[in-house]
Amino acid sequence: MSTYTVTVSTGEQLFEGTDNYVYITLVGTEGSSEGTLLDKPLYNDLESGAVDTYEMTVNENLGDIVLVKIEKKKYWVQDDWYCRNITVKTPSGDFIEFPCYRWLVDDMEVVLRDGKACLPQHDKTGLMKQHRQTELDTRRATFGWREWQPGFPKSIDVDKYSDLPPDVKFRNEKDGDFLANFIKGIGNLGLNGLKDLFQSSFSSFEDFEKVFITIQNNSSDIQEYVRLHWKEDVFFGYQFLNGCNPIIIQKCTKLPDKFPVTNEMVSASLVRKMTLEQEIKAGNVYIVDFEILEGISANKTDPKTTQYLVAPICLLYKNAENKILPIAIQLGQTPGEDTPIFLPTDSQCDWMLAKMWVHSSNFQHHQLVSHLLRTHLVSEVFAIAMFRQLPAVHPVYKLLIPHVRYTIAINTKAREQLICEGGTFGKANSSGGGGHVQLVQKAMKSLTFRSLCFPDLIKSRGMDKKDELPTYFYRDDGYRVWEAIKSFVSDVVNIYYDSDETVQEDEEIQAFVKDVCDFGMQDFDHCEFPASLKTREDLTEYLTVIIFTASAQHAAVNFGQFDMFAWVPNSPCTMRRPPPTQKGLADMALIMESLPDRGRCSWHIGGTWALSQFQEKELYLGMFPDEHFIEEPVKEVMEKFRKQLAEITSSIKSRNKGKKLPYYNMSPDKIPNSVAV
């Protein structure tokens, strides 16, 4: 007769405990115990946040304990239970940890394996191989692929959020309700009186300031800076480096034929006594080209308001102080008499309106390409493939699980409430109402795996030399965070893979990568996602892309939205008059008629507020409260990773100290682990 001590940890959030019957069975190499009811007399077992201990007496020799079976059965009513982990103390005094971190719903059985990570080729017994395969078979039946829209990355195969597996839903449901959070944002910001005032134009910028005063209790110093400096060319250019869409600017090595800017046009803006051609050769000229917006349908969901989209081109110049300024803007892709090139030397209203058009186009590109496609949808592909192909015992599953937290949930909510037909996105944005789908479809045709590798993304645009652009903080902070993540991933990979051959022999990791390529990205040739991995270096880079995209890249394009976009003239969500076809037409009346009306402004501001909020119990980069890894070597590299991140955070704080316009979107202490909002 032997006595085992079983310790059971229940989730700490409200309603995560249970009053149902819960039975535990120990499975060893020599036999199994009877199922034991977890029930202590005169005690309320398995309450939220509880850590309960039970004694199990077993008559026969079980051998080494390798599995724990949990069964939950109804008592009066079904009562779901969130089990964090189970620890078994053997008669010899050894402790065996069994990570769970799962919901048990209805009458359900879960079989847990001990927490030591193991590659498939290292499992030798039939029992362990069978457990591994059974888990994957169940997951593949649960996590299916679906094409939500033609040409999109594939997503989870469910009709609505309530159909999702419980383990990927929000543990706090209010975190993922877009419509409720948008309306909450409008209410918190004191904009309820405006949200239904569609077609009601603002009369002046002072009229906009009345709205800004209303939201000031929720505003930041950066928002105030934006309000005061949004008209300035220097700040206009700065936003392409360190705003919410810092991945579209690129060095101009040759003017495109479709953008016939001449030296005479811009000579007044050039400060080095060089021609435009010479400035281009010297590396002082940059370009932002929104060609991808050409042909995208503007929002027609409101018959009372015509909305417009353009595909502008903007030329930017680095002056002697290394500041980036716009020097020419064309509001279309086809040059001609009806598509003049606007210049800083034009009238104040002409130039201001041209810049507004560029920022409005930038807003559409940011929301749908840089944000939705390149972080949300791509991260969901990785998440689904992970659940389908990697069992919980696989080290890569343990590595990635913190970085897919709530991603499938938030994207499902988005498809249900935000970007669906009649969704919230269409209330305010000129690319809503169908254009948003067209734009993602078009952007997919230029999405490549290499473009998700941060150093490649920066270098491909000619933006990699720090001495040329010393204030490109997105790049500099991004490099450091990328290298920290890559170093951490490499350390973990090298713990479990002792050679390149080990990677090649790992059939599960190869199936994971192939699932992403063949199904998630639909094997589009242009995407060039790898279908297999050959080396530890390949695996390290691949996993770094996944983690960086879900954490740092999403943080960079998401959490600064309220700061940069709350002052609507700086980044109009829509334009209600067509772009000017000749110079000299713009006046303040046309600008006010072009900018969003009061109703659309309120939805825009409320939406950017909601999207910029961190989760109630946010987990930032380097935080791993769920102990999926139990091995000391991994815990040591986790601590090393946290120290690297702390050093980066400290360095960024030092750089930002005293700055009127600090940049912290890539600061590790403000980077959540996953795409969850």
Q: DSSP letter string over 554-569?
A: HHHHHTTHHHHHSSGG
User: Which residue's entry shows tokens 């469910």?
Assistant: 158
| Residue 78 to residue 15: CA distance in whole angstroms | 12
In this predicted structure, what is the pLDDT of residue 210?
A: 79
Contact 19, 38 (CB under 8 A): no
């080290």: which residue's tokens? 395
| Predicted pLDDT of residue 216 | 61
Q: State if pTM tops 0.75.
A: yes
- Please check whether residue 626 is in contact with residue 99, taking contact to mean a CB–CB distance below 8 angstroms: yes
Tokens 């005032």 belong to 197
Which H helix or E strand runs over 112? Answer: strand 108-113
CA distance 393 to 618: 25
Q: How many CB atoms lie under 10 A from the CB of residue 160?
A: 10
Helices first, then strands: H and E counts in the chain: 22, 15
Q: Give dist(CA 361, CA 307) in Å, integer.
A: 12
d(CA 145, CA 156): 5
Q: If residue 69 lies in a helix (H) or strand (E), which one and from where to where?
A: strand 65-73
Residue 116 is which amino acid?
K
Q: How far apart are CA 362 and CA 311, in angstroms?
A: 9
pLDDT at residue 208, as a whole number: 85
- CB-based contact 88:98 (threshold 8 Å): yes
Q: Give me the residues of the chain with pLDDT under 70, please.
A: 173-179, 182, 185-186, 188-198, 213-219
CB count within 10 Å of CB 58 equals: 18
State the DSSP code for 290.
-
Residue with tokens 């069992």: 391
Residue 477 burial class via C-beta count within 10 angstroms: exposed 0-12, middle 13-18, buried 19 and up:
buried
- pLDDT at position 221, please? 87
3-state helix, strand, coil in the chain (%, to 5): 45, 15, 40
Task: Compute, in degrees rounded to 10, the torsion defined by CA atoms 618, 624, 626, 628.
Answer: 150
Per-residue model confidence (pLDDT) at position 214: 63
Q: How many CB atoms lie within 10 A of CB 61?
A: 10
Which two three-digit tokens encode residue 669? 């202490």
Count the neighbouring beta carbons within 10 Å of the beta carbon of residue 37.
12
